[in-house]
């Protein structure tokens, strides 16, 4: 069964701190692994897309890693800002279909 699991479910950090979000996926055959940011009441916005041959991908203060052997991915956020408060969703892609995790709800406090 294709599925994506994320941890933690929610996270609170202080502005300026770093954090790492985790994702375990079971998607076969594997095409790529994506991270999306979703602000409350808005649609998801793509942060990174990685194929199995890519170990890491950065987008500004966001850095995603992928271990295709253990089927794990992480999203590291550096020097967090208040605007980083959002849900971060890990997505496994196979044969053109996307399988979404439940997301990690990140709250950044001043």
Residues that bind other proteins (CB under 8 A): 4, 31-32, 34, 36, 41-46, 49, 51, 89, 91, 93, 96-98, 100-103
Residue closer to other proteins (CB basis): 61 or 102: 102
CA atoms within 13 A on the CB side of 98: 13
Which whole-number Å values give the CA distances from 45 to 1, 8, 41, 86, in the listed order?
Answer: 26, 20, 12, 11
Least Cβ distance, residue 32 to other proteins (angstroms)? 5
**13 touches 109 (CB < 8 A):** yes
Q: Which is nearer to other proteins, 48 or 65 (CB)?
A: 48
Q: Taking the complex as a whole, how short is the minimal distance between the CB of residue 16 and other proteins, in angstroms?
A: 28
């Amino acid at each position: 069964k294709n599925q994506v699991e994320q941890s933690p479910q929610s996270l609170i950090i202080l502005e300026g701190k770093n954090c790492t979000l985790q994702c375990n996926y079971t998607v076969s055959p594997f095409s790529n692994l994506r991270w999306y940011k979703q602000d409350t009441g808005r649609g998801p916005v793509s942060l990174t897309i990685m194929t199995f041959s890519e170990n890491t991908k950065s987008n500004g203060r966001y850095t995603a890693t992928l271990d295709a052997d253990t089927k794990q991915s992480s999203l590291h956020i550096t020097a967090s800002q208040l605007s980083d408060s959002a849900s971060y969703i890990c997505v496994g892609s196979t044969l053109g279909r996307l399988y979404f995790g439940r997301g990690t709800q990140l709250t950044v406090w001043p």
